[in-house]
Structure 1
Amino acid sequence: MMRWQANVLIVFVALIWGTTFIVQQTGMENIGPQYFTGVRFLLGALVVLPFALREFRKIKREGRSLSRGDMFGLLATGIAMYLASILQQIGLMMTTVTNAAFLTAFYVPTVPVLAFLVFRARPHWSVWPGGAMCILGTYMLSGGNLSALDAGDFWVMSSALFWATQVVLIGVMVSRTNAPALVSTTQFVIAGILAMVMGAMTETFSFADIYNAGFEILYAGIMSVGLAFTLQAVAQNYTEAADAAIIMSAEAVFAAIAAAWFLGERLAPAEYAGCGVILAAIVGVQLLPVMGRRRRVVV
C-alpha cells in the first residue's frame, strides 16, 4: 500500500467516525446509553475476533505469553474506553452532534500532556497554545457565554480525558504485545461487558428496543468499532502517525456536515468560528512538531 493510499483510507475512517455521531444520537430514541454502548462494542468485538485469534495463535507459536502487567494494561485500556464512550454517549442525549464532535476532539492536545504526566515524555511547545485555542474555541462555541454550554457539553468534554487515556494506553499495549487486533478486541469486550452490567443496573433490557435501534447499533458496532478501528491499524503501518492524527481529526468536520445534512443542525457564524479555532488547535498540535523536525533535517 502506498502512503497516499493509506491516507485516503484514514479519510474514510474519519468519515465513518464522524457520521457515527449521528447514529449515536438517533439511537437514543429507542434504547438507553448503557445498552447501546454494550451491544455496540460486543458486536464490534465479534467483527475483529478472527484477526485477534490469529494473533493469539501467533503469540503461542512464538513461545510468548501475556504477562500479569499486560493483563492489567489491557483491563485499564478497556475501562478507559468504556468511560470515554459512555460519557460521550450520555452527553449526546443533551447536546448537538456538532458540539459533541468538536468537544470530543479535545483529546488530541490532551494526549501529549497526559503522556508527560505519566511517562515524563516532554510535549512539544505547541501543546500550550493549542490548549489555549481549545478554551477560546469552546468559549466561541458557547456563543460567548460559557453558561450557554449545557450539561451534555460538559459530559462530552469529560469524555475527552478518557479518550486521551485510551489513546496513550493502547499505544503502550500494542507496543508491548505486538498484537493490535488482540488488544482492540480485548478492550471492546471489556467495554461491552461493563456497559451491559451497568445497563442491567440502571436500564430496562428489551429485545424490541435493540431491534428498533438496529440500524444505529449495526452501523456503530460494525462500521465504527469493528471496521474503522481495524482500518486505522492497517493504514498506520504505511503512513506517519502525525499525518494520521491530522486526518482523523477531520471526523469533527464530517460530523458537523452530517449533522447539518441529516439533522438540520445549524450554528451561528461565531459558533462555526469556534469550531474552526478548535480544529486549528488540533491540527497545529500535530503538524508543528513534524514541521520542526523536517526543518532541522533540511538544515
Structure 2
Amino acid sequence: MEIGKSLKHISPEWGLVSVCFLWGSSFILIATALESISPGLLVTSRFILGALLTALIMGKELKNITRVDWMGGLWAGTCIFFGYFLQTVGLQTIPSSISAFLTALYVPFVPLLQLILFRKVPELTVGLGIAVAFGGMLLILDPTKLSFSGSFGEWLTIASALACALEIIVIGKFATQCNPKAFCLTQLTVVAAWSTAYTIAFEDVYVSWNPTLIVCIAILAGMIAFNQIVINWAQKTVSPTKAVLIYTLEPVFAGIIGWLVGEKIGLMAAFGGVLVVASVIISSWLPRYIQERKLACKKE
C-alpha cells in the first residue's frame, strides 16, 4: 500500500493523535521487553529494524533520497537519540516519577525555543492550550509526590526534555522540504548509529531471546517506523507549537491503557487527563470549526 496516498484521507492532527496512542501503548511493550534485554540493546534493535522496515516500504524510492533528507535526518535523529540517552542515564540516579515529571518540560520548551530561535510567538489559543495541557500533564504525574533536589540526574533529564523539544522544532523545519518516508529513514538510521555506538561503549549488554521478546521488538519497530513517517508528514502543515499540544495526549492514552490492564487512576490524574483533552480540542480544532462555520454562513 502507498502510505502517502492513504494519509491523504486523514487530517494531520488526527495522524498525530494516532501517534500519541501508539506512544501511550508502547510503555507496556517496553516494560515487558526490558525483562529480557538491556535498555540500550532494545533501543538499538528498535531503530535498526525500524530503519530496515522503512527501507522496505520505500523500495525503489531509496534512490531519491536527497542531501536535505540526510541533513534533516542527522539533526532530528541526533535530537531523538539524546532525548533517549540523557533520560536513560538520568534514570540511573533518580526515580521514574521524577524523570517523567521533568521530561514533560519539553511541552513549554517548544514555544520558548520557537520564541528564542525564530522570534515566533504562538497564537493565543495555542499558547493557552499549551499552558492548560502542561498543567494537566503535571496533575497526571501527581506533583505532590515529587521533590526537586537539583541533582545531576535531574539536570540530565531536563536536558533530555530540551532535546525532545528541539526534535519537534527540527522536524517542523525540515518536514516541508523532505519526503516523509525518506526523512523517517534517515532519522532512524542516525538514531540506530548513535544507539549502537552507545551500547557498545557503555552498556553491560544482556539478552535472553524468547517469543515474547521477539514479538515486542517487532511491534515496537513497526510503531517507530509508522510514527516517524506520520510525524514527518503531519508536521508539514502542523506547526511545532500545535504539534506539541497534541503530543500531550500521550500520558492520557498511557493512563487509559494502564487502567484497562488493571492499574488504578486517581482523581487528580483523571482531572489532569480531562484538562489535556479539553485543551487539545479547544486549541487545535475549535478555531478551525469556527472558521468553517463562518465560511458556511457567508455562502448561505
**How does the TM-score come out when normalised to structure 1?**
0.72
Structure 1: which 5+ residue stretches go unaligned?
60-64
Separation in structure 2 between the aligned mates of residue 154 and residue 281 of structure 1, nearest angstrom:
29
Provide the rounded CA distance (Å) in 1 between the counterparts of 2:53 and 2:201.
Answer: 27
* Secondary structure of 1:6's aligned partner: coil
Does the Cα contact within 8 Å between 2:16 and 2:231 map onto a contact in 1?
yes
Query: What is the distance in 2 between the residues matched to 1:155 and 1:260?
Result: 30
The aligned residue for residue 10 of structure 2 is 6
Provide the residue aligned with 1:41 in structure 2. Answer: 47
Residue 286 of structure 1 aligns to which amino acid in structure 2? S
**Which residue of 2 is the match for residue 276 of structure 1?**
274
CA shift digits 1:91-149 (9 cap, x unpaired):
789537xx95x986664554343223222223212354345435543553454526368
How many residue pairs end up in the alignment? 284
The match for 1:241 is: 238
CA distance in 2 between partners of 1:156 and 1:12 (Å): 26
Is 1:265 matched up with 2:263?
yes
Which residue identity does 2:37 align to in structure 1? I
Structure 1 SS opposite 2:205: coil
Matches within 5 A, 1:158-169: 159-169=160-170
Percent of aligned positions with the same letter in both sequences?
25
The residue that corresponds to 2:182 in the other structure is: 182
Q: Provide the secondary structure at the position in 1 that maps to 2:124.
A: coil
Asked if the contact 2:133–2:276 (Cα under 8 Å) also holds between the matched residues in 1, the reply is yes
Structure-1 residue corresponding to 2:217: 217
Identify the match of residue 15 of structure 1 among 21, 24, 27. Answer: 21
Which residues of 2 match residues 25-174 of structure 1 at below 5 A? 25-52=31-58, 54-58=60-64, 66=67, 71-87=70-86, 94-95=95-96, 100=100, 107=106, 110-134=109-133, 136-141=135-140, 143=142, 145=144, 147=146, 159-174=160-175
| The 10-residue stretch of structure 1 (47-56 or 116-125) with the greater mean CA deviation from structure 2 | 47-56
What letter corresponds to residue 128 of structure 2 in structure 1? P
- CA gap of 1:89–1:15, structure 2 versus 1, over 3 A, is farther
C-alpha separation between the residues in 2 aligned to 1:244 and 1:144? 24
TM-score (norm 2): 0.72
Aligned-pair distance for 1:53?
A: 5.7
Q: Alpha-carbon deviations, 1:135-190, whole Å to 9, x = none?
A: 543553454526368999987765443222112212222323x3221111111111
Q: Secondary structure at the match of 2:75?
A: helix
Distance 2:145 2:256 in 1: 24
Aligned to 1:62: none
Contact 1:103 1:160 in 2 (8 A): yes
Gaps of 5+ in 2: none
Structure 2 CA distance, aligned partners of 1:78 and 1:165? Answer: 11
CA contact (8 A) 1:78 1:187 kept: yes
Q: Distance in 1 between matches of 2:208 and 2:96?
A: 26
Asked whether the 8 Å contact 1:142–1:149 carries over to 2, the reply is: no
Is the alpha carbon distance of 1:233 and 1:66 closer, same or farther for their aligned partners in structure 2, counting shifts above 3 Å? closer
Aligned-pair Cα RMSD in Å: 4.2
Q: Residues 266 and 84 (structure 1 numbering): CA distance in 2 closer, same or farther, change over 3 Å?
A: same
